[in-house]
């Protein structure tokens, strides 16, 4: 039988091990964030390429594709866009699943973009001109997301601030 002191020590050790595991998984979550952002850029570039390279299909062709569920023939820009969209959706689902599991264990991401700089939760990497109406010193971009674990700061957000 364990004493109350031993139980408290075991609980403290378990908590430290859990925190270490969550901390070790944050780079995986960061990589999924970057991959998701990359795929959004790929999709935007694909859409721009399709719009610039070829005239858009006529109304009847678009209707036929929608009714038959055919995005386009393989190898066409439309098919490439469909493939990019599906890959991006897969990455988003994996990221959401991992985040959901981690949130179930006490992890909470916190928003920083648009917020005033908080030196207790954020580290400023530099300044960038803000959009019109943006208050100087507020966060305009998040380089690395910040997280709380069981309401304590686990990792500070790394941010860019609006300059004068």
* pLDDT tens, position by position, 65-123: 777 766 555 455 666 677 778 888 999 999 999 999 999 999 999 999 999 999 999 99
Taking each helix axis from N to C end, the angle separating 4-53 and 77-104, rounded to the nearest 10 degrees, works out to 170
Say what the pTM is.
0.75
Alpha-carbon gap, residue 71 to 68, rounded angstroms: 9
Mean pLDDT, the chain, rounded, equals 86
* pLDDT tens, position by position, 15-70: 999 999 999 999 999 999 999 998 888 888 877 877 776 555 667 777 777 777 66
Evaluate if residue 125 carries a pLDDT over 70.
Answer: yes
106-164 CATH? 2.30.22.10
Query: pLDDT at position 2, please?
Result: 83
Alpha-carbon gap, residue 34 to 12, rounded angstroms: 34
Alpha-carbon gap, residue 74 to 139, rounded angstroms: 43
Query: pLDDT at position 106, please?
Result: 94
Query: pLDDT at position 73, please?
Result: 52
């Amino acid at each position: 039988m364990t004493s109350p002191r031993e139980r408290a020590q075991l609980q403290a050790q378990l908590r430290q091990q859990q925190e270490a595991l969550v901390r070790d998984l944050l780079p995986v979550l960061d990589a999924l964030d970057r991959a998701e952002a990359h795929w959004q850029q790929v999709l935007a570039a694909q859409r721009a390429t399709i719009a610039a390279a070829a005239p858009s299909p006529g109304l009847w062709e678009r209707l036929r594709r929608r009714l038959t569920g055919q995005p386009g023939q393989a190898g066409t820009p439309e098919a490439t866009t469909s493939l990019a969209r599906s890959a991006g959706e897969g990455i988003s689902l994996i990221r959401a699943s991992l985040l959901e599991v981690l949130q179930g264990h006490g992890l909470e991401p916190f928003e920083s973009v648009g917020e005033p700089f908080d030196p207790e939760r954020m580290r400023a990497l530099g300044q960038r001109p803000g959009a019109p109406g943006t208050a100087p010193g507020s966060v305009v971009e998040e380089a690395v997301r910040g997280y709380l674990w069981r309401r304590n700061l686990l990792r500070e957000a790394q941010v860019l601030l609006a300059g004068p």
